[in-house]
Structure 1
Amino acid sequence: MTATWIKPTTYVFAARALRDFADAFIAILLPVYLLGLGFSPLQVGVVATASLFGSALLTIGVGLIGVRLDLRSLLLVAAGWMAASGVAMSVANDYLPLLAIAFVGTMNPSAGSVSVFVPLEHAVLARDTPDRERTSTFARYSLAGALAGALGGLAAATPDVITSLGLEQLSAIKLMFALYAALGLLGGLLYARIPPRPATHELERPAPLGPSRSIVIRLAALFSLDAFAGGFAVQSLLALWLFERFDLSLSQAGVFFFGTGVLSAISFPVAARLSRRIGLINTMVFTHIPSSVALALAALAPSLPLVLALLLVRAALSQMDVPTRSSYVMAVVTEAERAAAASFTSVPRSLAAAASPALAGALFAASYRAWPFLICAALKITYDLLLLVQFRHLKPPEET
């Protein structure tokens, strides 16, 4: 039986941590694996696009059936699918099977919040959290994932350790895919501890979008622009850029992405505290714009130390909108619409993010390696300004 003194949100935090740990090392190892198999940067970008587009379709499915099924049941199915994805990837070598696995599986080249798990977890957290604690809860949720993701970045160096013992690099990376599968199963065990929704509580049953439809559609459109921009700089492509431009090793990349993960983690509780002073929308916008400027400068910087310093600045700021954005969406819709709103805002994000990695891969292949990051920065700044103009007057309950 579930321990009554442990909140359901605790199991969600722990499952998110396992998943982000896995996503972080996969995001770094995937381009290395594909390049090691002889594929081009363009093909790497296409795999990233297929993965994100597949995630969008899975999230659409969740949005369609989530109003009828228990959130815990859907999370258990997703965890099983994650395990199957890792096993399939560990045995595939040819491009078309790998592309198909990326499309139908759960592997996340962005090492972030573009995932079928996210709207389900958001709905569970919002259901079990009072308004006054909502932003702090989402900050702790993001903090758990970011700290685990930082450790996952370090874990990306594991194949280097294994190869020093005599195993080939590609075989070592396959073992990491198997670890990804095992972490999916462990996440499923945690989701199983979440109490099921009582059948008698009709008011807690999710509902399709209704009174909040206009708000959610406008937010989804803006979030799509943000996600499309972010697709030009997903972590797999950023790692690929560092590998190709500066010849970073897996160990060096692992240490660097550990640092970015730690900075992102620190930023989440800071974002929650800042939002109480200046509001959720202002926190999202006024931390996001400087991070985009740092990315643009990094794309043009001439030396590796300066590039890494600017990317660390970006990491310290770029994710502060994650818990605040999640909290804001849950705040401005009715309780019954939360699952649908989380899904509806996640699906366009996933679809938009899926389009840009292939474009970035094409730019890489044409030797325009800085352009994806410059495009990303420009589009993200546009998104921030539009968000500020359209939603600065729509306050969540705790700000009114």
Structure 2
Amino acid sequence: MPPPQPSQAPGQTLGQTLGPDGRLLFLSRAARMFSYGFLSVVLVLYLAGLGFGEGRIGLLLTLTLVGDTLISLWITLHADRIGRKKMLVLGAALMVVAGVPFALSGDFTVLVLAATFGVISPSGNEVGPFLAIEQAALSQLLPEDRRTGVFAWYNLAGSFATATGALAGGWAAQALQAAGLAPVASYRVLVFAYAAVGLILALLFAKMSGAVEAPPAAIGAPTNRMGLHASRGVVLRLSALFSLDAFAGGFVIQSIVAYWFHVKFGVAPGTLGSIFFAANILAGLSALYAVRLARKIGLVRTMVFTHVPSNVLLILVPLMPNLPLAIAVLLLRFSISQMDVPTRQAYTMAVVAPDERSAAAGVTGIARTTGAAISPVLATPLLAIPALAGAPFLIAGGLKLLYDLLLYRSFQASEVGKSEGA
């Protein structure tokens, strides 16, 4: 069965549907997620190689996400008024601010400051202000009936880039080590590369036109401190639920899962890169099939009915007796894990007014980042205890199932949740 295509005018390609600015947004997404992918495979290995224990590593990952949350909150809430392009360039600069000190210093205090005030991804997933602002810009550039389909392709581009980055990062580190470089030095090369991607992103964002900016009428609309007005209630409800989901996911961010495979089965960096290459490819494809399912059963049902089996599989990963079975279950989980992502993004954009989209995407995104920020400091100490090393998977899967039940109970009766499709 071929993957569904995003809605577009007859004879139009995806690139024509997006236009120049949309293509730049897709390209920036791919470049950013590529860097997140290669960094996430080696980040915890790098920190461990610098001599930090699991407790300190967990604290650093948590502070990284806390800093991203606070900075992203300010940027996304002011993006429509100050300028989306300017804020995207600022976010790219903060990647450089994080990457350069991480590469140059082994001092814990320096790394904490860089992680807190810069933008760095320990998860392989989106961090920083980019996703919220890009979603708002894409929503503005596209007709409503094309939104879910294009969001699916947008997520596919990110997943493929993350997959390629994970593959490249893992095997690059292993090749550098085979050439005689010490493990820590090989990982440091990748951290420098991460900072370089920040510079590339700044150039891409600077090339976008004024069409991505918020409409003038929206800038003058009365809002509260969060940039919301009529949609405040539903956005806060969604934010609370998304925060729970992200808190659960924070126990199994990609860098932690990579470290678990390394410690549990002795998996080398190159093999780790291959595992997460396959995982992210499958995740990206799953987002495409969500479009067709959403047309049939609605956005909320698609979010929940695909998420539940994904979380059951997550719980099963640490229960597998050997590496091949653990990899197989992980990959099966990823094959349906992202079907809720484009539907979640489209649902959020559908239930808010156009002039609230940057703020709504920002608030829900910040809620996710806040939830995810707490988990690593709780998860990493468990990895140091052999009997509890698999506990992060069990905790994450259980909490995610709770999120699914609460989401369905809260929003399944929504008219948009039933009928708003691709």
Looking at structure 1, the residues matched to 125 and 199 of structure 2 have their Cα atoms a distance apart, in angstroms, of: 20
Asked if the contact 1:223/1:348 (under 8 Å) is kept, the reply is yes
Which residue of the partner structure matches residue 384 of structure 1? 404
Q: Does 1:52 align with 2:71?
A: no
Asked if the contact 2:298/2:417 (under 8 Å) is kept, the reply is no
Looking at structure 1, the residues matched to 111 and 149 of structure 2 have their Cα atoms a distance apart, in angstroms, of: 39
More moved, 179-188 vs 306-315:
179-188
Structure 1, unaligned runs of 5 or more: none
Q: For residues 54-89 of structure 1, give each alpha carbon's deviation from its aligned partner in whole angstroms, at most 9, with x where no partner exists.
A: 111111112442242111110011111112322221
Looking at structure 2, the residues matched to 5 and 161 of structure 1 have their Cα atoms a distance apart, in angstroms, of: 38
Which residue of the partner structure matches residue 176 of structure 1? 190
Change (3 A) 1:71 1:161: same
Asked if the contact 2:91/2:130 (under 8 Å) is kept, the reply is yes
Change (3 A) 1:105 1:365: same
Which residue of the partner structure matches residue 39 of structure 2? 26
The counterpart of 1:37, out of the listed 40, 43, 50, is 50
Asked if the contact 1:143/1:269 (under 8 Å) is kept, the reply is yes
Shift of 1:4: 12
5 Å-filtered alignment, 1:140-219, equals 140-156=153-169, 157-197=171-211, 201-205=215-219, 208-219=227-238
Which residue of the partner structure matches residue 89 of structure 1? 102
Amino acid corresponding to residue 402 of structure 2 in structure 1: T
Structure 2, unaligned runs of 5 or more: 1-15
Which residue of the partner structure matches residue 367 of structure 2? 348
Percent identity between matched residues is: 39
Amino acid corresponding to residue 293 of structure 1 in structure 2: V
Which residue of the partner structure matches residue 278 of structure 2? 259
Looking at structure 1, the residues matched to 22 and 313 of structure 2 have their Cα atoms a distance apart, in angstroms, of: 34
Asked if the contact 2:68/2:118 (under 8 Å) is kept, the reply is yes
Looking at structure 2, the residues matched to 387 and 265 of structure 1 have their Cα atoms a distance apart, in angstroms, of: 23
Q: Does 1:128 align with 2:141?
A: yes
Looking at structure 2, the residues matched to 201 and 262 of structure 1 have their Cα atoms a distance apart, in angstroms, of: 36
Change (3 A) 1:203 1:166: same
Which residue of the partner structure matches residue 379 of structure 2? 360
Looking at structure 2, the residues matched to 287 and 397 of structure 1 have their Cα atoms a distance apart, in angstroms, of: 15
The counterpart of 1:119, out of the listed 132, 152, 164, is 132
Supply the RMSD in Å over aligned alpha carbons: 2.0
Asked if the contact 1:23/1:109 (under 8 Å) is kept, the reply is yes
Asked if the contact 1:227/1:352 (under 8 Å) is kept, the reply is yes
Change (3 A) 1:398 1:13: farther
Shift of 1:199: 8.6
Amino acid corresponding to residue 110 of structure 2 in structure 1: P
Which residue of the partner structure matches residue 285 of structure 1? 304
The counterpart of 1:249, out of the listed 265, 268, 274, is 268
Looking at structure 2, the residues matched to 291 and 94 of structure 1 have their Cα atoms a distance apart, in angstroms, of: 39
Looking at structure 1, the residues matched to 214 and 405 of structure 2 have their Cα atoms a distance apart, in angstroms, of: 44
More moved, 190-199 vs 214-223:
190-199
* TM-score relative to the length of structure 1: 0.95
Which residue of the partner structure matches residue 320 of structure 2? 301
Report the count of equivalent residues: 398
Asked if the contact 1:225/1:352 (under 8 Å) is kept, the reply is yes
Which residue of the partner structure matches residue 231 of structure 1? 250
Change (3 A) 1:390 1:255: same
Change (3 A) 1:229 1:198: closer
Shift of 1:109: 1.0
Q: For residues 128-184 of structure 1, give each alpha carbon's deviation from its aligned partner in whole angstroms, at most 9, with x where no partner exists.
A: 111100101111110111001110011122011112222222122111111111111
Change (3 A) 1:78 1:164: same
Looking at structure 2, the residues matched to 389 and 322 of structure 1 have their Cα atoms a distance apart, in angstroms, of: 19
